[in-house]
Amino acid sequence: MKRIIAILFHVIFFFPTILYPQEAGKEEMRAVWIHSGMFDSEKDQALIRMRDLLDQYAEIGINNLFCFSSLISQHQKTWDFLEVLIEEAHSRAIKVHPIFCPGHRVSLTGEVKEHPEWLITGMQGEMYPHLNIADPGVREYYVNMVKEALEYDIDGIHLDYIRFPVNQRFSYDNTTCEAFKEEFGYSPVEVAHDCGSMIWCEWIRWNAKQVTTLVRDIKQTIEQSGKEVVLGADVFPDHGTATILIGQNWEQWANEGIIDFICPMLYTNDLDLFRQYVETAVKTANGKCLVYPGIACHSSHNTNTREGVAKEVEISRKVGADGVVFFSGYSLTKEFIDSLKAAVFR
């Protein structure tokens, strides 16, 4: 009996993939969202911090980094942050994916300042500091940034805020309204918005198509580069709600094959709710793209515990997700890393 118990102990401790069969056939994604702002503006100091952090990540099998503000044009450093990050990460078998945020609030500087027509215009003519993804010039602007990133030895392109601002904040500028009118015979400002109008429904669907067009253009740009670079996206947890609320039809992206993986942002301490949304995402993706649930150590929605984070990793595995992503490098502290190393990432 003691011999049997000893054998079982070694099987469970040293071969956790037996408990989670999805890991046996492919590498489990273990990723972290990081930001260039986590590192000093001086290169030497930044390298000390970067090497220490990447060593910690490597100890628990972190194999991918999704990095905000990594291009020279996006950060305030005098040195090439992305080039250095790639060199240090690749030496530890960690892949790097620069992040682009088409729907995020923008600063009215540089090329954006030169094109005020790119900004979202409200129904009363008010301007918002967000770019209108329905504008072809905006889509070209982001495609060009992706081309810049593809000049590096990157492993992926990652899209966050690939959407309109919440609550259907679409643009009502003349050019956008006329483009819609050419297809449907009415401008969105000419129809009632509170009576179930079919034209209004088409307006919602039309804007979602514009976001999909940008995703498709970025995927095509990657393919034309000839590089083996994957495309991933952070998405709202429920695809139906996302399509209507923010124009983010990620189910279609999966069905079309224009996205390689999705990261539903599941920032909650409610384990039952977490399980429900991971199951839904896996079912919706239906094997047409990979699913990496986003788990928050700390976010604007929740403050998790070390035990809670570990349990969400376990749930993700059990319901068939392909890995996990942690939010974020700022809050994935050594305490969380040590806890994961002692439990689910032994």
Let me know if residue 69 belongs to a domain.
yes
The residue whose two tokens read 């952070």 is: 234
Let me know if residue 156 belongs to a domain.
yes
3-state secondary structure of 203: helix
Are β-strands 323-327 and 294-296 bridged in parallel, bridged antiparallel, or unpaired?
A: parallel
What is the domain count for the chain?
Answer: 1
Q: What is the pTM of this model?
A: 0.92
Alpha helices per DSSP H over the chain: 2-14, 22-25, 43-59, 81-90, 110-114, 136-149, 174-184, 198-225, 239-246, 250-256, 271-285, 306-318, 334-342
Let me know if residue 196 belongs to a domain.
no
User: Tell me, what's the pLDDT at 196?
Assistant: 77
Cα separation, 85 vs 103, whole angstroms? 25
Let me know if residue 125 belongs to a domain.
yes
Let me know if residue 179 belongs to a domain.
no
Let me know if residue 238 belongs to a domain.
yes
Residue 96 pairs in a beta bridge with 65
Q: Range of 124's domain? A: 28-170+202-342
Let me know if residue 302 belongs to a domain.
yes
Measured in residues, the chain has a length of 346
Condensed to tens digits (0 to 9), the pLDDT of residues 204-260 reads 999 999 999 999 999 999 999 999 999 999 999 999 999 999 999 999 999 999 999
What is the distance between the terminal CA atoms of the chain, rounded to a whole angstrom?
Answer: 26
Cα separation, 16 vs 29, whole angstroms? 15
In tens digits, the chain (346 residues) has pLDDT values of: 444 444 444 444 444 433 444 444 579 999 999 999 999 999 999 999 999 999 999 999 999 999 999 999 999 999 999 999 999 999 999 999 999 999 999 999 999 999 999 999 999 999 999 999 999 999 999 999 999 999 999 999 999 999 999 999 999 999 999 999 999 999 999 987 767 789 999 999 999 999 999 999 999 999 999 999 999 999 999 999 999 999 999 999 999 999 999 999 999 999 999 999 999 999 999 999 999 999 999 999 999 999 999 999 999 999 999 999 999 999 999 999 999 999 999 9
Let me know if residue 188 belongs to a domain.
no
Give the CATH number for residue 59.
3.20.20.70
The edge-to-edge listing of strands for the beta sheet with 29-35 is: 290-291, 261-264, 230-235, 156-159, 95-100, 64-68, 29-35, 323-327, 294-296
User: Tell me, what's the pLDDT at 320?
Assistant: 98
User: Tell me, what's the pLDDT at 25?
Assistant: 57
